[in-house]
Each structure stands twice: as structure tokens, then as C-alpha cells.
Structure 1
Amino acid sequence: MFCEKPMAVDPAGYRVALDAIKKSQEKKLSVVAGYCWRRSASRVEAFKRLHDGQIGELASVFATYYTGPVKPMPEASARKPEWSDVEWQVRNWYNFSWLSGDGLVEQAIHSVDKLCWALKDADPISCVATGGRQLPNEGGNIFDHFHVAYEFPNNVMAHLGCRQIKGCYNENADYIRGTKGALIIGRGDKPSSTERTAGVSAARRKTCIRWSMTSSLPPSARARCSTTAPGCCTAPWWASWAGCPPTQAKRSPGKKPSPATKTWPLRPR
């Protein structure tokens, strides 16, 4: 049985979903949820390497789901006289929390899922969330921005930021920090992993491509701020995965190089 995410929008629905899973197990059937990234080959490989310790012990997670409105609430004039309040709300289900669970539950649940995946699906110890409505949504009652801070065992903090406001910076990414490096998902067509190293060979340095955290800066700043090993090209964030582009930015004279970092795409072994 396939159930589209989020499977439930309130505690009562959550208990129904759990009961359905229990019954499916008794009948040796499967309940599959629409958390699509769990079936993505690149993500599966990325999290496998994460759990294998490639970036060391997990230290923190920051997930973003910044986008525009998904299903804007229509004007009241679009409502037909024969439609009841319930029918009007069902027809515009995304804009009512009792139907959609709001943008955090309906859309950013994918980021929550990856966040939990990074923590090996451990339950958080606590959670503090804030949210609100910045722009009018006449007739609807959902928020257009949230921030959630999760505390997990071993002093690991995980944060989720989501927003649905047009005309703003958009991003859907996951920044997973470890004691030896970082895993970045969503800043390119494939996840990338970085590992700090005291020194690497010339051949390996040539594979240094980018440091994704500078991707929100202007192109010139991105080129200057790339974190690379001595002698490695400081390519901007849109550099191809195969190597650095023909034109390479150079460090400013007299400045010490940043801590050595090697970056490579995560492909199935």
C-alpha cells in the first residue's frame, strides 16, 4: 500500500497510520510512504557514507526548504454560492492546516525526513519551533515561514528553516556537519562531501571543485571565497563535477590559503 507523505496532519491521523502499518506487518504486506529521497540512488549512497563515518561523528544539521507559494489561496470572489465552507476549504486544501498540516508538514516534511535519516532515525529529545505569516492569505490560516530546532542525543542540534514567499531567495538543501568534514545535499545535481586534510596530492587537488556555502554570494565573491587546498583551482559553485572550468580564479597575492579541503561528488561505488 502506498501512502503519500506526510501520511497524517494531526495526532489522530498519526495513530491511524501507525495502526495501518501494524496491520500490514501482521499480514506480511508493506506500507510505503512517499518520502522519495529514501529511494534516490545518490542520496542513499550519500547517507550510507555519512553513516559509515566518512565525515566523522555527526555534529549538526541545517536543512532548508525556501520556496514560493505552492497553491495560493484564490480570492473570495472565486467561490461559487452553492459551495459550503467545508467544500471551499477542501477545494483549497493547501491553505488550511486541518487539511494540509501547513507547509512544514506538507512540503518541508521531506527535509524533516532527511534530517532524521542523518540521525539514523533517532527520536529527538526536544523540539522548539517558531513561525508566522508575513504576507496576507485571505481566507486561509497557514503560516508562510517556520524555523524548528531539534535536540538529539549526544548534543547534536538540527535546524530546519522553511518559507513559502515569492520574490525571495530559494533553496532546498541539507548541510550536514561532522567532526572531519561535511555532506552537502541540494547545492548541485549530486550530493558533495568535503573532508579536511593537511595535504593532498596534485592529482587530488585538481579535483577540488567548490565549497557550497559560498554559493549565495556574487560570482566574483564566490570565486575568491572558495575554500581550497594550496594549488587547487578556486572554481565557482557552478563548476562541472568532472573538474575545474578553463578559466580559474586566483587567490589574492599575499593571503594565506584556507585550510585544505578536498571535495568530490558522491556516486554509487
Structure 2
Amino acid sequence: MDRRSFVKNGAVLGAAAAALPRFGFAQVKGSDRIKVALIGCGGRGTGAACNMIAADPNIKIVALGDLFPEKLDKAANKIHDFAKKSVGESKASEIIDPSKVKKFSGWDNADQVLAEDIDVVIEATPPVFRTPHYEKIVAAGKHAFLEKPGAVDVIQGRKMYKLAEEASKKGLCVVCGNQRRYDNRYQDLVKRMQDGEIGELLAGQCYWNNGGYIGAWAHGKEGTEDTLEYQIRNWWCFIWASGDNIVEQHVHNIDVLMWAFGSDRMPVEVTTGLGGRSTDLPCPRYGDRFSHFAIDYDMGNGLRMASYCHQDPNTTPNVSERIIGTKGIFQGLRLTDHKGKTIYAPGKLELDPYIAEHKYLLSAIRNGRRVNELRHLINSNMVAIAGRMSAFSGKRFKYEWMVKKSEENIVPQNVDLMGKTQDLSLKNPVSVPVPGKYKLV
């Protein structure tokens, strides 16, 4: 993504930005209000809707969907409050009217939302729903903003690759929430690395080390922890609902390295996967996921990638990336020589990337251009999944085996993600994976 073009036009349209078939954008002209729906009305979904308003207030949010009905009014009011601050009270209701916006709840809320007259969908549900919902979004012929991650396991990842191709064939835009790709500083530095400014790239390290366990505030009645409702309400704590923190959160940092290396350069082998649950929180009350991971990837031709993430209280936080080249190092959002002297530092942040990603999407829709960023996300997503599988099992394996042959499916067998209804009181017993006992499939 070229930084100058992005800043000038609000989007990079590149070689893939050919004119679309008429059916793709027949209802959206440059000055029209783009009709938006939000599926997933939690904090990130509500935030994404506000980010979209900041990017382009000439939108109308016409429908909200969430599994749990109590989230709908809260989201509508928060988005309306943000709109009032952005465009003034008199115009805010043109963007969203809390009393008139359509609201749908229940297991089939996505189906109900997609039956409405909309142009683009913000999908920001718990990660396990992303793939089945995007399948429905593509079938309905809608553009989409998808939060990360795009998949929680190998089966979903393979499906998303196919959906990315199908979306392109239909002329549908899809932009994803790996927002560092929309940060002008990262764009500048990645281009310089790809142009050889720090020489041949030899190794990269990425980190998302939190100073606390996300989900330590888990809520719900004691004794209900093995029900679907509890686990979905506390999705960040449960592997099947979140993908674990290496997939749900640390994918951001993995994505930066993958981008710099060349987004289609995939690992040859996952050589080492370590992890565990050192956080002193009981399972299943606080989920079954690991609190820390350390993964080594062989990227081929001598290039290595190391991934580190943890969520342990009272530990030093570090959210960053580092890439070593023959002539220098990328670290701390700058390029240095091997002794730490700055070679190059980018300018200031020009636009909040949480806003820039929506500006990129909406500009493409308005201008009848095709942008499809899903494959980049799923590449990084699958690398994170591979790291999780290695850490859970304690095994090394070829990346190609995972992509082509693994049958890993972590969604509970009694859960129909594509169905119309689901009994949320269904039991789903969980336990923390044990390396050496967890089986690769």
C-alpha cells in the first residue's frame, strides 16, 4: 500500500482496483449515503461503527444485530452520541436514529440484518462467528468490514480463502481490522524494508505482552461456566470462541512481519511451539485458553520469525515488532543501524488507522473500485493458528501439512454456526490443553 496515494485519495486502489461490474455498485453513487449494518454490538463493534462515522459521516446505519438483545439499545445510543459530537445533534439522526434503527437479536440475527436494504456490513462478533457470517454476507452480495481474526481454526481458515475468491468474483469489497496496514508510519517503513534499505531480511520478532489477563473480569452465574451462553458472553477466555490470544490479539504483530516479508511468503515449518497457563485463574470460570505463547517459524531461505505473547498480571508490557536485516534493524517504528543509531524515522501519524481503514473501504465503494484485503489477514491468521497448534501439542510440523491436510476444527460438535437457532444452555465442558497430550489432527 503506497503511503502517498493513501493519504491523497483516502485509499490505495492499485492493480486490483479495476472497474467493477455494474451489479457490484449499482445502488451506491459518490454522493449517496452508504447504508451500513453492524453485526456484533459489543465494544469493538460499537467502536468500529464510530470509526466509520469519523471516516465518512455520509453514511446511514440502518440495522444492528447481536446475539444478546440487551446490547442493541446500548450500542445504538453510544453510536448516536458519537455522531452528535461529530456532526452535531441536528444531523446525528441522519446517521443513526436509536428509535428507528432496526434491531435484531438471537442466533439468526445476521440473517435478519442481511435481509435489509444495506450496502456494507461491519462484522465484529466474537471471532468464531466471523467465517459463517462472512459466508452469509458474500451470499447476500454485501461489502464488508471484518474485524480480526477472520478464523479460529484451520477449517474456517480454508473456508475464508475460498470466500475471498468468491467475493472478488462478485465484485465485493472487503477490508479487515489489521489496522497497522493503514498506519502511514508502518506503510513508509515496510516499503523501505521491501526496497532493501536495511538489506536482506534475516529474522523478525513480534510481541504482544500484556500486563494482565484479558477476561479476568469474567461474569456470569457460578455453575453455568460449561454452557454456550457463558462461554460466548466471555468469549475472550475460551479457545473455541476466540482462537486464543495468539490468534485473536497477537495476529496484529504477526501480520506486520508477514507484510514486511511479503504477505504471501508463508512458513516452511513451525519448529518450536511453547505455551501454557501460568495465570492463577481457575478453569472454566476464566476459560481454558493459554496465558502465554512462544513460537519459532522457519520462513525458508534462512529467514526466521519468532512470536511472543503473554497476558500475565504484574509483568512488563511490550507490544512491538523487530526485524533484523544485513544493513540495519526495524524497531520502535524506526530504522537503525546494528548499533542502534537511527537511520530513518517516519513522520507523524497522519490519520488514526482505526479510521483510515474505513476511509479506505468507503472510498473504494464510492468510486466503484474493488479492494479485497481478506487474503492478507487470513495468511497471518493461519500462521497464528499454526503457532497455537504447535504450542498446544508440543509438536513441530510442516506448514504445508497444516494448510492442506489438517482437519483441526475447534468449534463444539453440537454447535451449528450456520443454523437459525441454538440452545444456549447446551453444555460444552472444556479443559486447558496439555502439550504432549493434545493431538494434532
CA distance in 2, matches of 1:149, 1:174: 15
**Displacement of 1:27 after TM fit?**
0.8
Alignment root-mean-square deviation, CA: 2.0
Instruction: Say if 1:165 and 1:44 are closer, same or farther in 2 by CA, change over 3 A.
Output: same
- 2:266 equivalent in structure 1: 123
**Does the CA-based 8 Å contact 1:150-1:157 persist in structure 2?**
yes
Aligned partner letter, 1:90: I
In the alignment, which of 158, 169, 185 is matched to residue 42 of structure 1?
Answer: 185
**Displacement of 1:80 after TM fit?**
6.8
CA distance in 2, matches of 1:180, 1:91: 48
Larger RCO (CA within 8 A; separation ≥ 6): 2
Write the deviation string for residues 209-237 of structure 1: whole angstroms up to 9, x where unpaired. Answer: xxxxxxxxxxxxxxxxxx57xxxxxxxxx
**Does the CA-based 8 Å contact 1:73-1:137 persist in structure 2?**
no
Instruction: Say if 1:265 and 1:22 are closer, same or farther in 2 by CA, change over 3 A.
Output: same
Q: State how many pairs are aligned.
A: 199
CA distance in 1, matches of 2:150, 2:195: 30
**Displacement of 1:79 after TM fit?**
1.1
Q: Does 1:19 align with 2:162?
A: yes
Identity percentage of aligned residues:
30
Q: Does 1:87 align with 2:167?
A: no
CA distance in 1, matches of 2:196, 2:316: 32
Tell me, what secondary structure is at the counterpart of 1:12?
Answer: helix
- 1:100 equivalent in structure 2: 242
Write the deviation string for residues 42-94 of structure 1: whole angstroms up to 9, x where unpaired. Answer: 0010100000000000011011111122222537xx41778971101111111
Instruction: Say if 1:183 and 1:134 are closer, same or farther in 2 by CA, change over 3 A.
Output: same
CA distance in 1, matches of 2:245, 2:209: 11
**Displacement of 1:16 after TM fit?**
2.6
CA distance in 1, matches of 2:342, 2:158: 46
In the alignment, which of 347, 357, 365 is matched to residue 267 of structure 1?
Answer: 347
Deviates more, 1:97-106 or 1:27-36: 27-36
In the alignment, which of 167, 173, 188 is matched to residue 30 of structure 1?
Answer: 173
- 1:156 equivalent in structure 2: 303
Instruction: Say if 1:19 and 1:125 are closer, same or farther in 2 by CA, change over 3 A.
Output: same
- Taking structure 2 as the reference length, what is the TM-score of the superposition? 0.43
Instruction: Say if 1:74 and 1:83 are closer, same or farther in 2 by CA, change over 3 A.
Output: closer
**Displacement of 1:12 after TM fit?**
2.1
- 1:4 equivalent in structure 2: 147
More helix by share: 2
CA distance in 1, matches of 2:223, 2:330: 53
- 1:213 equivalent in structure 2: none
**Displacement of 1:130 after TM fit?**
1.1
Query: Would you identify which runs of 4 or more consecutive aligned residues in structure 1 move more than 4 Å?
Result: 80-84
Write the deviation string for residues 235-260 of structure 1: whole angstroms up to 9, x where unpaired. Answer: xxxxxxxxxxxxxxxxxxxxxxxxxx
**Does the CA-based 8 Å contact 2:198-2:325 persist in structure 1?**
yes
**Displacement of 1:176 after TM fit?**
0.6
**Does the CA-based 8 Å contact 1:69-1:165 persist in structure 2?**
yes
Deviates more, 1:83-92 or 1:166-175: 83-92
CA distance in 1, matches of 2:225, 2:291: 26
Instruction: Say if 1:97 and 1:195 are closer, same or farther in 2 by CA, change over 3 A.
Output: same
CA distance in 1, matches of 2:248, 2:160: 16
Alignment of 1:163-178 (within 5 A): 163-178=310-325
